[in-house]
Structure 1
Amino acid sequence: MTRETSRSEIEVVRLRVRPQFVFVRHGRTEKRKALLVQARRRKGDAPGAHVGAGFTATKKIGNAVTRNRAKRRLREAARVLLPQLGKPGWDYVFIARMETADIAWPRLLDDMESALISLAAD
Structure 2
Amino acid sequence: MRYKAIVTLSALLGTVIMLSGFMPKEDKKASNLKVLPRDISAEDLDKVMDGFKVALGVKCNFCHAASKDDPKHLDFASDAKPEKEIARSMMKMTNRINKKYFHVKDVDGPKALLAVNCITCHRGQAHPDEK
Same fold by TM-score greater than 0.5: no
* Greater C-alpha radius of gyration: 2
Whichever structure has more strand as a proportion of its residues is 1
Instruction: Give the TM-score taking structure 1 as reference length.
Output: 0.29
| Structure ranking higher on relative contact order (CA contacts 8 Å, 6+ apart) | 1
